[in-house]
Structure 1
Amino acid sequence: MAKRGKKYIEALKKYDYLKEYSLDEALKILKEIAYANYDETVEVHMRLGVDPRHSDQVVRGSVALPYGTGKTVRVLVFAKGEKIKEAEEAGADYVGGQEYADKIAKEGWLEFDKVIATPDMMGVVGRLGKILGPRGLMPNPKVGTVTFDVADAVKRAKAGEIEFRVDKTANIHAGVGKKSFEDEKLKENIFALYEAIMKAKPAAAKGKYIKSFHIATTHSPSVRINVQSLQR
């Protein structure tokens, strides 16, 4: 286990970290134990009963959080022709083609949070796979980021749509808002993510689908949630 600081250890003493709490209880605890002096992100960490080594058990998708993530999303769109104007009018921060691909590949430029591409630009974007892929930024038609409807994709990204994908250890990690959010807003965002992941359950998944569900802030210990309390 990684060495933890004094504040982290003090936070652990304020609740039973082995106990499962209802979502309401967990959010109250989280607000009490979060000790960083800035507005941390509230994160969900889920362990799933899937084997991501099998392609038919990969869980991925996107979900619009009702109250957004609390952060400004910088959107880069790869497009050409009339789609450039559509993306700009929808609020994209950067719109272009090869010049942005070169900037990423040659200068290491990564001043964006979301990448959207029209299908006819994937020849250009595809070469950036080794840079964008590991950072979770590669456009993908399964989550609506490879599309000719760039205006809709940009608006969804700006409004707080997030992507989720199970990692190789069968975990999903996602930010669902800020510590300063009211509990009700965090609850609605967490419900939205939970329900989207339930809908994305692969047919090949056997046994218990959600093995554990925790919430934490960027630096705090995590609080375990009773999954039954998420059903409504």
Structure 2
Amino acid sequence: MSKLTKNRKEAKAKVDATKAYSLEEASVLVKEISNVKFDPSIDVAVRLGVDPRKANQMVRGVVTLPHGTGKDVKVLALVTPDKEEEAKAAGADYVGLDEYLQKIKGGWTDVDVIVTMPSVMGKLGPLGRVLGPRGLMPNPKTGTVTMDVAKAVADVKGGKIDFKVDKTGIIHAAIGKASFDAEKIAGNAKELFTTIMKLKPTTSKGIYVKSVFMSSTMSPSIQIDTKSVV
């Protein structure tokens, strides 16, 4: 069994594992226990009372965090020549088509989000084995397949994230950085929770939000009182 580091012990000592904190309390505490040498991400895990194996209980959506993610998101715009300038002006890091399709075919995936056009999706199909496992395949439901390429790029750069319940019924999402003010962490979390609540499947019975935990990279988890987020 690996030994806890001094910092880890100090962080665990500050978290009462038997308590469910309010969102505001958790947003303050997560900053206090984020004692690493870099600016860690703040993550939330929301366990839902759904069965992801059933198509009518799949919870998936997008949300624009009001205070951004704090992360420099690298965006690839796979577009036709007439859309290239539009994508570049919106802030896309990489813009092009065939040359990037070849790079991806060779295993290159050094981006966070891919934005493309409906007419290009046919060319991306064969690359599903590369992009799918990395969560990079564009999808109309997340707004990354659109003719309004500029808006899609700007949204992603401005703090738009997509989320999906995993096979265990949990949504994992990064909502900011430990350097954020506690109010901004709470504000981003509230926006995510509000969106998740709006997506409750009509076929979902019983308790919808079963548990919520917040943590930062390498920190202990903080349980959040579900009553403070729903």
TM exceeds 0.5? yes
Q: Which residue of 2 is the match for residue 205 of structure 1?
A: 204
TM-score after normalising by structure 1: 0.94
Q: Which residue of 2 is the match for residue 229 of structure 1?
A: 228
Q: Answer whether contact 1:76 1:95 (CA < 8 A) is retained.
A: yes
Is there any run of 5+ residues in structure 1 with no aligned partner, and where? none
Q: Answer whether contact 1:214 1:224 (CA < 8 A) is retained.
A: yes
Question: Does 2:150 align with 1:151?
Answer: yes
How many angstroms apart in 1 are the aligned matches of 2:98 and 2:3? 45
Q: What's the secondary structure of 1:19's corresponding residue?
A: coil
Q: Which residue of 1 is the match for residue 32 of structure 2?
A: 32
Quickly say closer, same or farther: Cα 1:121–1:229, change in 2 above 3 A. Answer: same
Q: Which residue of 1 is the match for residue 80 of structure 2?
A: 80
Report the residue type matching 1:50 in the other structure: V
Q: Which residue of 1 is the match for residue 12 of structure 2?
A: 12
Number of equivalenced pairs: 229
Calculate the aligned-residue CA RMSD, in Å: 1.4
How many angstroms apart in 1 are the aligned matches of 2:2 and 2:192? 31
Q: Which residue of 2 is the match for residue 42 of structure 1?
A: 42
Q: What's the secondary structure of 1:109's corresponding residue?
A: coil
Which stretch shifts more, 164-173 or 92-101?
Answer: 92-101
Q: What's the secondary structure of 1:13's corresponding residue?
A: helix
Q: Which residue of 2 is the match for residue 129 of structure 1?
A: 128
How far the C-alpha of 1:3 sits from its partner, in A, is 4.7
Q: Answer whether contact 1:97 1:124 (CA < 8 A) is retained.
A: no
Q: What's the secondary structure of 1:5's corresponding residue?
A: coil
Which stretch shifts more, 47-56 or 23-32?
Answer: 23-32
How many angstroms apart in 2 are the aligned matches of 1:31 and 1:65? 18
Question: Does 2:199 align with 1:214?
Answer: no
How far the C-alpha of 1:90 sits from its partner, in A, is 1.4
Q: Which residue of 2 is the match for residue 21 of structure 1?
A: 21
How far the C-alpha of 1:10 sits from its partner, in A, is 3.6
How many angstroms apart in 1 are the aligned matches of 2:217 and 2:35? 10
How many angstroms apart in 1 are the aligned matches of 2:18 and 2:219? 15
How many angstroms apart in 2 are the aligned matches of 1:206 and 1:43? 27
Report the residue type matching 1:155 in the other structure: A
Question: Does 2:117 align with 1:104?
Answer: no
Percent identity among equivalent residues? 50
Q: Answer whether contact 1:98 1:124 (CA < 8 A) is retained.
A: no
After superposition, the C-alpha distances for 1:145-202 in whole angstroms (9 at most, x for unaligned) are 1111101100101101001011111111111010010011111100111011111111
After superposition, the C-alpha distances for 1:74-99 in whole angstroms (9 at most, x for unaligned) are 11011113222221221111111121
Q: What's the secondary structure of 2:95's corresponding residue?
A: strand
How far the C-alpha of 1:35 sits from its partner, in A, is 2.1
How many angstroms apart in 2 are the aligned matches of 1:156 and 1:4? 43
Report the residue type matching 1:197 in the other structure: I
Report the residue type matching 2:194 in the other structure: E
Which stretch shifts more, 157-166 or 81-90?
Answer: 81-90
Q: Which residue of 2 is the match for residue 139 of structure 1?
A: 138
Q: Which residue of 2 is the match for residue 67 of structure 1?
A: 67
TM-score after normalising by structure 2: 0.95
How far the C-alpha of 1:60 sits from its partner, in A, is 0.6
How far the C-alpha of 1:131 sits from its partner, in A, is 1.5
How many angstroms apart in 2 are the aligned matches of 1:142 and 1:181? 29
How many angstroms apart in 1 are the aligned matches of 2:134 and 2:209? 25
